[in-house]
Structure 1
C-alpha cells in the first residue's frame, strides 16, 4: 500500500503582515494532486494544520475543501492536532468529519477507544493500523498517561517516559498481518529545527528520544519540526517538514511530501516529492543602489533586505517602493548608528520569552528553579492552543 506523509501546513500564516492564503491554496492543491497522481491509499497530516487556534473562516474553508477533495477521490484522510491547532475544536468536528471519510484526532485516547485507526488499503486490501498521538504539552502528557496507560504518573517522571507509556498502549494494538504506522506531533531528540517552530513547545522538556518508537512500526510520521529529516531509530522515523518556508529562518529548507510504500512483510520505501508552489523566501544584502538595481531579477520571491550602508531619511520608503515584495528591512550592524534606524530593524537575534525571562532573573539576582518552572508553566498555558481537558 501507498501513503503520503505531510505536516505543518500552518494555513492562515502571515509573514510580516503579508497574507499568504492564496499561496497556501496553491500548495494544498499541489499536495492533493500529488496524492491523486500517485494513487495513494491514505494521506497522513501530522499536525499544525492551522497557524493558530482561531483560524479565519477563509483558512478553515481552504482546509475543509482540500480534505474533501482527497476524500472524494477515495483516499483515506487522517490528521492530528499540533501545538498550533485547537484540539477541542478538532474533537467537536470529529463525528461530522468521520461521515465524510476524514478522520480527525484532537486529543490522545487509548487504543481501545479509537486511539488506533484501522482500515483496509483500497489498492491491496492490506490491513493498516495508524496509532495517532496529537501534540501533548508537558502538563497534559501526565493526564494522558494516566487516562491511556493507567500509570500513577502524578506530576513525576520525564516527559519522554510519559510519551512511552502512551505509545506502549497504542502500539499494543499493532498486528503482524498489517502495515503498522505511528503518527505523532512532537520533538524528537537530535532533530534539527526548521526555523519557524514555536520555541516554548520545542525546548528540552518536550524532547523524546527516537527509542520510544518500537521496531514493530513500519513507519513513524512526525510533525512539528519544519525541516525534512530522518531520525536514526530502530524503525523508519521521518519528519516530512513543512511544504513551504514558514519564515525567513526556513528559506534554505527543501520542501517536500513523503511518498511511502510498505507491506506487512517488507520495510517501508520512502520517496521525497518536491512541493514547488510556495513562494521562495530570500535574504539579500547590499547598498540601496545594489538592492534596487534589478527589481525584476527577484521574481516573485519574498525578500528580507539587509542594508550595508547607514540609514537616511526616507530610505525605508525608497526600498519598499522599488521592491514591493520586500517584507523586512534590516540595517547591518556595521552600519547601524543611534537614532538613524527609526522604523528599520537592526540585524540582531530575537530571544524567546524563556530566554528573556532568564535574562531578567539574572539581572535582578534571582536564581530559583521553582520560579523558572512557574514561568514555563504560565507561558505554556498562554501559548498552548488546546483547551484544558
Structure 2
C-alpha cells in the first residue's frame, strides 16, 4: 500500500505580524495535487493542523477544505491532534468527519479508540495506531484505562507512552500493514527551529525503542525538520510543508510518500513543496542592502548600522519583504562594557540618556521624542 505522510500545517500562523493564510492555501493545494498524482491509499496528518487551540472561522475553513480535498482523491484520511491543536475541539468534528469518510483523533477516549483499520482498493489490510499528542498531565489518565498500579502511575512520561503503545500495538497482525501515527519528540531527533519549546524539552522526549519491530512505519509530527530516526522500525518525521519561522529557513518543506507491504520494509521518498514564500536572513549596511535581490522572500534583516530613529522604515522601504529588522547582534555586542553605576536619584531624562549611551543609540531625535512624551505624561 502507499501512504502520504504530512504534519505540522500550523494553519493560522502569523509571521512577525503578517498573516499567512494565502500561503497556507497554496501549500495545501499543492499537497492535494501531490495526492492526486501519487494516488495514496492512506493520508496521515500527524498533528498540528492549526497554529492555535482556538482557530478562527477562516482557519477552520482552510483545514476542513484541505482534509475534504484529500479524501476526494480516493485515499483514506486520518488526522490526529498535535500540541498546538485543541484535541477536544477536534473530537467535536468527528460527526462531520465520519460522514465525510475522514478519521479524526483529538484525544484518547477509550482503550481501543486510537486503533484504526482499513483495507486498500487492492485488498491489503492496514492497522494504524493514531495517537494524538498526550500532555504530561493526561499521560497517567490515559494509561489508567489499562489498570495501572500505584507504582506504575508514578512512572515517567516516556514510561506511560510506552505502556500506551504496548497496549495499542497488540492489535497488529502479521498479515496487515502496521502503522503508528504520533505527535511527540523522539530522543536524538533534531528540532526544526519553530516548535513550541515547552513540549520539546527532555521531559517530553521518548526513546525510539518504544516503537515495536512489528510496525512497518511510524509517521511522526511535532518536529518541523524532515528526518529519519534510528530505531527498531522505520521512524520518520515528515516536517512542516512550509517554514513557519525564520529558525526553519534552511529546512526543505515537503511530504513523504511511503510504500509498504506486510512482508517488506517501508520505502520512503520525499516530495518537495515549493508553494510557500521562502524565508531568508540577510545582513549588511544600508548601502549593502541596496544591492540585494531577495525576490519575493520574507526577510529577517540584521542591519550593520548604529541604531537611530527611522532606521527600520528606511530598511523596509528598501526591502518591502522585511518582516523583522534588528541591529546586527555582532555589531551591538559589547562584552567589555563597564559595570553599571547606581541610578538612584537621577531624573528620567538622565536615566534614558545613559541607557542610550550604553546601548550605542545616541540619537538626538530619539532623545527629543522621549522628552516630549515625558512632558505629556507628567
Fold match by TM threshold 0.5: yes
Which of 294, 314, 317 is the equivalent residue of 2:313?
317
Secondary structure, aligned partner of 1:172: helix
Secondary structure, aligned partner of 2:271: strand
Q: Deviations over 1:115-152 (max 9, x none)?
A: 21101012x210010001100111111111112x2223
Which of 361, 369, 378 is the equivalent residue of 1:340?
361
Gap regions ≥5 residues in structure 1: 343-389
Secondary structure, aligned partner of 2:312: helix
CA distance in 2 between counterparts of 1:284 and 1:152 reads 56
Q: So what's the TM-score if we normalise by structure 2? A: 0.87
Match of 1:385?
A: none
Tell me how many residue pairs correspond in the alignment.
337
Q: Work out whether residues 289 and 318 of structure 2, in 8 Å CA contact, stay in contact via their aligned partners in 1.
A: no
Gap regions ≥5 residues in structure 2: 333-357, 364-378
Alignment of 1:260-339 (within 5 A): 260-294=258-292, 297-336=293-332, 338=359
Match of 2:346?
A: none
Match status 1:51 vs 2:54: no
Moved over 4 A (4+): none
Q: Work out whether residues 285 and 308 of structure 1, in 8 Å CA contact, stay in contact via their aligned partners in 2.
A: yes
CA distance in 1 between counterparts of 2:50 and 2:174 reads 35
Q: Deviations over 1:89-117 (max 9, x none)?
A: 111111221110110000124453x2211
Alignment of 1:1-389 (within 5 A): 1-112=1-112, 114-122=113-121, 124-147=122-145, 149-152=146-149, 155-294=153-292, 297-336=293-332, 338=359, 340=361
Secondary structure, aligned partner of 2:43: strand
Cα distance, 1:313 vs. partner?
2.4
Cα distance, 1:155 vs. partner?
4.6
Cα distance, 1:73 vs. partner?
2.4
Secondary structure, aligned partner of 2:92: helix
Q: Work out whether residues 227 and 253 of structure 1, in 8 Å CA contact, stay in contact via their aligned partners in 2.
A: yes
Q: So what's the TM-score if we normalise by structure 1? A: 0.84
Q: Work out whether residues 110 and 170 of structure 1, in 8 Å CA contact, stay in contact via their aligned partners in 2.
A: no
Q: Work out whether residues 133 and 184 of structure 2, in 8 Å CA contact, stay in contact via their aligned partners in 1.
A: yes
Quote the RMSD (CA, aligned, Å).
1.4
Cα distance, 1:74 vs. partner?
1.7
CA distance 1:229–1:204, change in 2 (3 Å)? same
Name which of structure 1's ranges 313-322 and 329-338 shifts more when overlaid on structure 2. Answer: 329-338
Q: Work out whether residues 78 and 102 of structure 1, in 8 Å CA contact, stay in contact via their aligned partners in 2.
A: yes
Secondary structure, aligned partner of 2:3: strand
Cα distance, 1:242 vs. partner?
0.6
CA distance in 2 between counterparts of 1:285 and 1:219 reads 42
Give the number of the structure whose alpha-carbon radius of gyration is greater: 2
CA distance in 1 between counterparts of 2:271 and 2:123 reads 25
